[in-house]
Amino acid sequence: MPMLPENPLLLYVTDPMCAWCYGFTPVIRRLKALWFGRLSVQVLVGGLHPYAQDPLTSPEKDKLAVSWHRAQGKSNLPFDYSFFLQKEAIYDTEPACRALLTVRHLRPGLTLEVLRALHSAFYADGWDITDTQVLVEVLRPFGIPENLFLAVYETDEIYQQTQSEFKMVEEMGVSTLPSVYLDHPMWPRLISRGFCELPELEERLLQAMQIPY
């Protein structure tokens, strides 16, 4: 019966514009640090609300704002609510997901840290991370050359790969962001769906690692 590897791989399904992911990414970062050398983390883009073209309606804004408030209450992280003052607020999460996938191609070791920076830029600072130049500014401290980033970010290939990853995540059965899976050649095993604190996440991981496939 196939067993899990000694150095397991966690699949962290997320979105840079997901409020609960903003709260949960610090938990993943702490878990990775706690398990340094014994655990790997790969970030997958889930596509919370990709390809949106129409501005949010008032009821949609209200529903989203409630979710943000709940996430803030759980995570105790700063939130900037000026997004909801925009008359033509379009909530398209594809550009930020594509930017994160681009970073994963160019500098895979920075993916989780860039995700944290994208979260903070959008939620704490109120930056429009659907704008390409804003994305460039978020990435600047990480030493990724602007021309290199744009050379990949604006290609048809990365568009298609982003769309393919959205589809793959859907086929995995992901219905909630954030979600965490324990990777395995046979099929990823769900560890966590939605926000949870570090002790609970670690307990679920340990339990999953003890169950043979």
Residue 39 · residue 31 · CB < 8 Å: yes
**What average pLDDT does the segment 10-29 reach?**
98
Q: What is the pLDDT of residues 165-194, one digit of tens each?
A: 999 999 999 999 999 999 987 889 999 999
| pTM for the whole structure | 0.94
Residue 72 · residue 79 · CB < 8 Å: yes
Element (H, E) at 20: helix 19-34
CATH numbers and ranges of domains, the chain:
9-209 (3.40.30.10)
Cβ contacts of 199 within 8 Å, gap of 6 or more: none
Element (H, E) at 192: strand 189-193
